[in-house]
Structure 1
């Protein structure tokens, strides 16, 4: 077998070819990942952000976007942000296990509307909570939306907490969400979002709780019979970066990221409300049995969750009071 000899002429030709395409060879890569479905609101928001950022930064940067847990679930993505193997990620409920104060957004019936959430974002998230996150190696860039969470199951309509007794309900890996459903009488089952469809399909779990956009995006309604409109928690999702990565970015890149993220936030809040209305009609058309719940019964059953947050989380009672006092509270 003849060996191929790399002559000086060939080497020079290869070198000139590489130099002729500096955009491909030298483009800085920015990786963005989410654990949710690309069809969900968080998926649509993240894709809009990624596309806008790519257009703004141009050929000097290559923005790569991954959804549906391709690079890991939220817990894994937090670790990858710290290790700088992922540059930005959308993180929701898992934040409460990283920075306990973020469990504020696991408290039932704390947030009534998106106007209130915007005020809480400006007055609490991007100030005090952001500082706590930085101490844990993370930087919240913007607050997007997962939406108001509802309960689905295959056994019966949920009207009061008593109707949850004995039901195996999938919850995110959050001690606060588990505590909430335990308090309501259910058997909470922590599970990665990517496993929920099969869990429902095989009967490992009876039901789950998620915003309508997540339910539809992951096709969970195809393996569920009942949708109970509890609106029990409004779930933000935060665009996070690792502190080390963020501090090393040029000022113009940080500014571009922040401006595109804020544009995505405005779009997400508006689109979230629109999708809530659209998806209810779709679910009804597909034969899902939809019911309203006794809101006051759920609020009354939730008081121990508030008491524990106030006593266990640093400054917990003050955070609750400030969130309740934010503009938009009804």
Structure 2
């Protein structure tokens, strides 16, 4: 063997073990959040936590702005193993009926209330997810939702009469806005800006973090602060994929799901102030809606959920009881 061949063989012998052990488990985290969104910050914080714990055993990579697919596509890709984590929110009500309870107007009062719901009822939602082949490894958030549109300020449900309003793909959000008198139009988040810009729809409803990061303030005249729904975000994996990963990797990922929640809630709270200013400064007229008028108009939605979803009445009651911390 020549000297050159000997050196090359030695280099290869040294390099091979490194390549075999250097994060050959790559885990892709796909979400629909745009740059600057709460989803982006949340997914990146989770990845930072996970990669710090995992070392060279695995690496979490994040892909936002629907690069790996829209919400429904991501749910399918999880089961196919093409994506390893997603961050769905409202769309979970179409995965399992129990998640529809978070579509009930004003049912979640604040983040402390959500923490109590997670602590007391987390098993209910985990079982619902597992029944559809998914596992929740963390609770983040999409946030408190508000209405923007180009027609008029929304003070009461009557002001929504006839307004073409984009909603996520979830039956209860559609039913809620039909009850209020709007013309709800389910649509993927990535399509909303163009639909607003071209007047295909009049308005939409989202938390400030999604409104501002998607630049809806550039194509909307009015923001009405309704806070009508609080949507959790779920760090979701496919159970079939999850069971294939090493136990120590799963333990670290679950730990990061829990640890990142504090960052998500703190960051979301800050964005609620900062981004409302951004939206105002863009020239959008802002008004405080009459929340009680919306609550009064929501009784039929609660009744339908309670009677049509197995265990729905009890789930509503338990969540409402937790509002006071009792």
With over 3 angstroms needed to count, the CA separation of the structure-2 counterparts of 1:211 and 1:328, relative to structure 1, is: farther
Task: State the alpha-carbon separation in 2 of the partners of residues 262 and 196 from structure 1.
Answer: 31
User: Quick check: 2:78–2:238 contact (8 Å CA) kept in 1?
Assistant: yes
Structure 2 unaligned runs (5+)?
none
Task: State the alpha-carbon separation in 2 of the partners of residues 292 and 195 from structure 1.
Answer: 27
**Matched residue, 1:176:** 172
String of CA shifts for 1:22-62, please: whole Å, max 9, x gaps.
Answer: 25766211111112213211210111111221121112323
**Matched residue, 1:30:** 27
TM-score normalised per structure 2:
0.94
Runs of 4+ deviating beyond 6 Å: 8-11
Q: Does 1:216 align with 2:239?
A: no
**Matched residue, 1:86:** 83
**Matched residue, 1:202:** 198
Pairwise CA distance, 1:14: 9.0
With over 3 angstroms needed to count, the CA separation of the structure-2 counterparts of 1:20 and 1:135, relative to structure 1, is: closer
Pairwise CA distance, 1:261: 1.4
TM-score normalised per structure 1:
0.92
With over 3 angstroms needed to count, the CA separation of the structure-2 counterparts of 1:295 and 1:327, relative to structure 1, is: closer
Pairwise CA distance, 1:11: 9.8
**SS of equivalent to 1:221:** helix
User: Quick check: 1:161–1:297 contact (8 Å CA) kept in 2?
Assistant: yes
Alignment of 1:73-112 (within 5 A): 73-112=70-109
Task: State the alpha-carbon separation in 1 of the partners of residues 303 and 222 from structure 2.
Answer: 31
User: Quick check: 1:53–1:257 contact (8 Å CA) kept in 2?
Assistant: yes
Task: State the alpha-carbon separation in 2 of the partners of residues 187 and 307 from structure 1.
Answer: 21
**SS of equivalent to 1:322:** helix
Aligned residues, how many?
A: 322
Pairwise CA distance, 1:85: 1.5
Match of 1:187 among 180, 183, 187: 183
User: Quick check: 1:18–1:25 contact (8 Å CA) kept in 2?
Assistant: no
Task: State the alpha-carbon separation in 1 of the partners of residues 325 and 65 from structure 2.
Answer: 33
Cα RMSD, aligned residues only: 2.0
